[in-house]
Structure 1
Amino acid sequence: MGHITKFVLGLMLVLAVACSRTPPGGRGGASAVYVGGTVPQLGDHKPHEWRNGHPYNHAVHGIDISRWQGDIDWGRVRGSGVSFAFIKATEGGDHSDPAFARYWREAAAARLPRGAYHYYYFCRSGADQARWFIRNVPRERGSLPPVLDIEWTNSRTCPQRPAPAEVKREASIFLDIVGRHYGQRPIVYTTVDFYRDNRLGDLRAEFWLRSVADHPRMTYPGQNWAFWQYTGTGAVPGIQGNVDLNAFAGSSSDWARWLSTRLTR
């Protein structure tokens, strides 16, 4: 083998390793086509090969959690590069997450921006669910905007799948009532199938989109978004087991500007 051939093969090997490295500090972090960007100390228990834009090319990352995360070391979470947390508060018109109040206090004590989310059920009206959310979530200065998590449920007690017009009408009622109370219109979290089935693109909202197999620009073409949930099997120091990981759409400067306009006052 000639010297030039050896050199070319060696260079190709170096480039291949550089392009498929595990993110610094990550535990089993996603590999393959990562090409740069700000990398928090996060990982993934089931890493995915991203071909159309790696989540770690985004500078700002956060988590969303519920009771199933158990005890959390919030100092370690914040120190790992997590910049925000959305915490499950309520579900339907009569269920509240038993860990919400504790997580709400602990995240604030760690000086981590946090907001609350509501999991929507189609067997109760948007107005009923808005009132239930307001009853359980304090209107607290400096909190992130509330979130409406609306997706198809697999509940045996609430199997309804309303028509798109009804879905958007009731969701809008929830958004209006909750938005007036907290002074910030809620963010809407949704999934690919629900978004398509109900043509949610015309809903007046800021979106948080789930897309665990490809970049949102591929799965939600043409849709603007503020947050991207890119895995449900994330690894975060201070949390045992899997956790949802999310990226903010903009830069660190964009994040600071977003916070300046979207925090509860």
Structure 2
Amino acid sequence: MRKKIVRKRTVSIRKPKKKASVFSAKGIRLSIAAFFLLVLIGIGYHYRNGIAYYFSFKSDKILKEEAEAKRISDVRNFQVLEKSDGKSIGLDVSEYQGKIQWSYVDTLENKYPLDFVFIRATVGKDRKDLQFKRNWLGAKKNKMIRGAYHYYRPNENSIEQAELFIKTVTLQKGDLPPILDIEKLPKNQSLDSLKLGLKRWLKAVELHYKVKPIIYTGEKYYDDFLKDEFSDYLFWIANYNFYREKIDSDWLFWQFTEKAAVPGIKGNVDVNIYNGDLEQLRFITVE
């Protein structure tokens, strides 16, 4: 007699699904996405006026009030200019702008008058800007307050650089003080030697023109190397940071953008704000 074989059924026990944790990979991704969304919303709210102006989404009432104003391509530029109402606006140019049609250089975006211009005159110990003479005369003819600057090369003799600038630039009544442009660190000398060279250039130029020069540099360079030791000089500072919207109280001039469009100039051009109005700007010119 055969025995009856009874087969046992295997019962699979399903494990309960784990609840999604906020600390899971998916939860972390969602949290990061939410954070960045909030940041974008915050930025959009902060710059709502500039964005609205750029895309012409303002109400009919505001559009009528600003009918004569054109769009400003850079939202940040509009934000900065809006917050600098009453301050004098100007440019800085060199041979890189080509042949400027000075008779057309009058306003920024057909709204903001251009009162002054810094013009590169010399580079290092042996090079004159190819367009300096043309720009220097053109700015004067266009009745703009003009200033000349020297691009300093840290690894070249400072006195020779000062002599080249002095031979090239003749300042007249109503011109701005001479400017020293320092942006690079030396490759074959110490910082102390660099600072000594800068002081020699500044003293030689001041002795010749009988006026204290202005120093141009970037904000970080200013904070790290010049702020303390050159505190008796006035500064023209470059800072294009998206979040900076006002000129610092310690700065004489602020170069806030390198991407602006101006009639009479092909391509982009730098724009600067003077820490005061036009009358105050005239006060610091050469007598």
Identify the match of residue 169 of structure 1 among 171, 181, 196. Answer: 196
- Answer yes or no: is 1:89 the counterpart of 2:111: no
Query: Shift of residue 20 of structure 1?
Result: 3.5
Q: Which residue of 1 aligns with 2:217?
A: 190
d(CA) in 1 for partners of 2:279, 2:134: 26
Where in structure 2 are there 5+ consecutive unaligned residues? Answer: 1-45, 56-68
Change over 3 Å in CA distance of 1:54–1:183 after alignment to 2:
same
Change over 3 Å in CA distance of 1:199–1:99 after alignment to 2:
closer
What RMSD over aligned residues (CA atoms) do the two structures have, in Å?
3.1
Query: Shift of residue 91 of structure 1?
Result: 0.5
Change over 3 Å in CA distance of 1:49–1:258 after alignment to 2:
closer
1:62-211 alignment, distance < 5 Å: 62-80=90-108, 81-152=113-184, 160=187, 162-203=189-230, 204-211=232-239
Q: Which residue of 2 aligns with 1:20?
A: 51
Q: Which residue of 2 aligns with 1:35?
A: none
Over the matched positions of the two proteins, sequence identity in percent amounts to 32
Q: Which residue of 2 aligns with 1:264?
A: 286
d(CA) in 2 for partners of 1:126, 1:43: 45
Query: Shift of residue 94 of structure 1?
Result: 0.2
Query: Shift of residue 169 of structure 1?
Result: 1.8
- Answer yes or no: is 1:215 the counterpart of 2:241: no
Query: Shift of residue 124 of structure 1?
Result: 1.6
Change over 3 Å in CA distance of 1:85–1:216 after alignment to 2:
same
The alignment of Structure 1 onto Structure 2 pairs a total of residues equal to 223
Query: Shift of residue 180 of structure 1?
Result: 1.8
Query: Shift of residue 125 of structure 1?
Result: 2.4
Please report the TM-score for the alignment, with normalisation by the length of structure 1.
0.73
1:3-53 per-residue CA deviation (whole Å, 9 max, x = no partner) reads: xxxxxxxxxxxx986453438xxxx9xxxxxxxxxxxx7986555489xx7
Q: Which residue of 2 aligns with 1:238?
A: 264
Contact kept, 8 Å, 2:123 with 2:152, in 1: the verdict is yes
Contact kept, 8 Å, 1:209 with 1:216, in 2: the verdict is no
Contact kept, 8 Å, 2:256 with 2:272, in 1: the verdict is yes
Please report the TM-score for the alignment, with normalisation by the length of structure 2.
0.68
Query: Shift of residue 257 of structure 1?
Result: 2.7
d(CA) in 1 for partners of 2:83, 2:246: 14
